[in-house]
Amino acid sequence: MAPRVLIIGASVGGATAAITLRGLGVETVLIEKELRKAKPCGGAVPPAAFREFDLPTHLIDRKVKNCLIVSPSGQETSVPVAGTVPTDDDYVAMVRREVFDGYLRERAQERGAEIIHAQLTGLEVTESGVRASYRSMADGSEHTISADVVIGADGAYSPTAKMLGLPALPRAVAIQERIALPDSQMARWEDTADLYLGAEVSPDLYAWAFPKKDHVTVGIGAGPGHTQRAKELLSNLKRRLGPALDGGQVILREAHALPMEPRKQMAFDRAMLIGDAAGLVVHTSGEGIYWAMKSGQLAAQVLGQHLDAPTAKNLHAYERIWWKEYGTMYQFLRFLQWWGYGNERQMEVFTEMCRNPDVQRLTFDSYMHKTMAPAPWGAQMKMTWDIIRAQARNYASH
Ligand SMILES: Cc1cc2nc3c(=O)[nH]c(=O)nc-3n(C[C@H](O)[C@H](O)[C@H](O)COP(=O)(O)OP(=O)(O)OC[C@H]3O[C@@H](n4cnc5c(N)ncnc54)[C@H](O)[C@@H]3O)c2cc1C
């Protein structure tokens, strides 16, 4: 029997959509071309994802409790990972995508979704249904499959979006190395993650060192104008990290694109886009795992209500609910990227601002628990005053 929903891409977004659809009893098939290699990713996941998607904590390599932010001039700000009301649930989870994605795929299969190891090669959406062509990764044979609706969960290059006739999104590139370190060196990253700012490592985003079970991932993000320099920026970061990487061995170098803008439209007649395919990565952090899962869940819930009439008009509820819920946060974080990473002086101001305890708590409330509660009046005044002082100090000294 033909599935009702076909999902292209069985990574975090696609697998979550499939789990949700199976929960609603909907016949679901996923097409995934890459079941062996992990998606290139820093693997930082907020606790909200573990709570909201009922994920076991054995998927976590390390719980980061402290973030070190290093400005272009080497000014350091150490930020405890804690929200306004500190709890045991305050951490940034570090996961390896091969483990994390593998678990979600298995869960989707256990709930009855089928995963076809194949590459999507063609897509036709008509009034009466969806017909996709794919090439088996096992033996190269060509097949077709029909369904009522397609969900594009196929990442930043989204072939589904392309086959729907949509333009490519502006993209950044992120490149990273997994570096295995001697135990004595790993102690430095027991529960700490580093963020580095500066034109020599990341002109418009940031660079990172994230600890995993037995290695550190060291990487940089480079916006659309700087992607050609990605390897050079990564070398600069490794030079900057210097002795902290002594004795390290590169076990993997990996790179992938990050969408830099959400799509204007995410729901169409018989088709929906989620996660990176819809451009749902937040700007300041490049965070996309939680958002791919959340959009996969919401798209599936909306689709579950309209399977018998999956028109753009009905499926539009997905977009409407999404932007009502998260629009302000996306806009704020986009502004923050523009403001904080705009040039090196602003990066200095940003690093200094991160010393303000209210900024720290609000940042981690919004990252860890996905809540954006307004700060009390007194805290807002103090933050504003600290920004003015930091701006004045950094601009007067140049
Ligand atoms: C280097 C790097 C570091 C990052 N670090 C973080 C981080 O620390 N935390 C965070 O939250 N986010 C991070 N991100 C972003 C995060 O990886 C993505 O936002 C997230 O993976 C998006 O999930 P998704 O399910 O939408 O798409 P993806 O994870 O990109 O998955 C798309 C899937 O579609 C499949 N696919 C593509 N084309 C086809 C085809 N033709 N046929 C069949 N299958 C196909 C792919 O194989 C893939 O499995 C990082 C990204 C990069 C590049």
Average pLDDT over residues 144-171: 97
Ligand 1 pocket: which of 154, 281, 295, 333 to mutate (most atoms within 8 A of CB) = 154
Our answer on whether the CB atom of 89 is closer than 6 Å to any ligand 1 atom is no
The yes or no reply on domain 44-95+170-259 and CATH 3.30.9.10 is yes
CATH 3.40.50.150 fits 5-38+97-169+261-332, yes or no: no
% of the chain residues with pLDDT over 70 = 98
- Choosing from 289, 293, 298, 322 the residue with most ligand 1 atoms within 8 A of its CB, the one to mutate for a pocket test is 289
Using a 6 Å cutoff on CB, does residue 174 contact ligand 1? yes
Residue 338 alpha carbon to ligand 1 centre in Å: 24
pLDDT in tens, 263-273: 999 999 999 99
Q: Residue 160: pLDDT above 80?
A: yes
Mean pLDDT of 297-303: 98
pLDDT, greater one: 123 or 284: 123
pLDDT at 372 over 70: no
Q: Which pLDDT band, with edges at 50, 70 and 90, does 352 fall under?
A: confident
- pLDDT tier at 1, thresholds 50, 70, 90: low
Q: Determine the atom of ligand 1 nearest the C-alpha atom of 160.
A: 41
- The preferred substitution site among 134, 157, 276 for testing ligand 1, maximizing ligand atoms within 8 Å of CB, is 276
Mean pLDDT over 227-252 rounds to: 94
Q: Does ligand 1 lie within 6 Å of residue 281's CB atom?
A: yes
- Predicted pLDDT at 355: 86
Q: Can you tell me which atom of ligand 1 is nearest the CA of 134?
A: 42
Is the pLDDT at 197 greater than 70, yes or no?
Answer: yes
The 3 state secondary structure assigned to the chain is CCCCEEEECCCHHHHHHHHHHHHCCCCEEEEECCCCCCCCCCCEECHHHHHHCCCCHHHCCEEECEEEEECCCCCEEEEECCCCCCCCCCCEEECCHHHHHHHHHHHHHHCCCEEEEEEEEEEEECCCCEEEEEEECCCCCEEEEEECEEEECCCCCCHHHHHCCCCCCCEEEEEEEEEECCHHHHHHHCCEEEEEEECCCEEEEEEEEEECCCCEEEEEEECHHHHHHHHHHHHHHHHHHHHHHCCCEEEEEEEEEEECCCCCCCEECCEEECHHHHCCCCCCCCCCHHHHHHHHHHHHHHHHHCCCCCCHHHHHHHHHHHHHHHHHHHHHHHHHHHHHCCCHHHHHHHHHHCCCHHHHHHHHHHHHHCCCCCCCHHHHHHHHHHHHHHHHHHHHCC
Residue 322 has pLDDT above 80, yes or no: yes
Domain locations in the chain? Answer: 5-38+97-169+261-332, 44-95+170-259, 342-396
Q: Tell me, what's the pLDDT at 361?
A: 84
Quick: pLDDT tens for 130-143: 999 999 999 999 99
- pLDDT tier at 397, thresholds 50, 70, 90: low
Task: Give 349 or 73, the one with higher predicted confidence.
Answer: 73
Predicted TM-score of the model (pTM) = 0.94
279 lines ligand 1 (CB under 6 A): no
> Which residue would you say has higher pLDDT here, 302 or 283?
302
- Residue 122: which pLDDT band, with cuts at 50, 70 and 90? very high
How much is the pLDDT for 280?
96
Average pLDDT, whole number, for the chain? 92
What is the per-residue pLDDT for 398? 57
Could you tell me the distance, in angstroms and rounded to a whole number, from the CA of residue 394 to the centre of ligand 1?
37
Task: Please give the average per-residue pLDDT across 68-94, as a whole number.
Answer: 90
Mean pLDDT of 26-36: 97
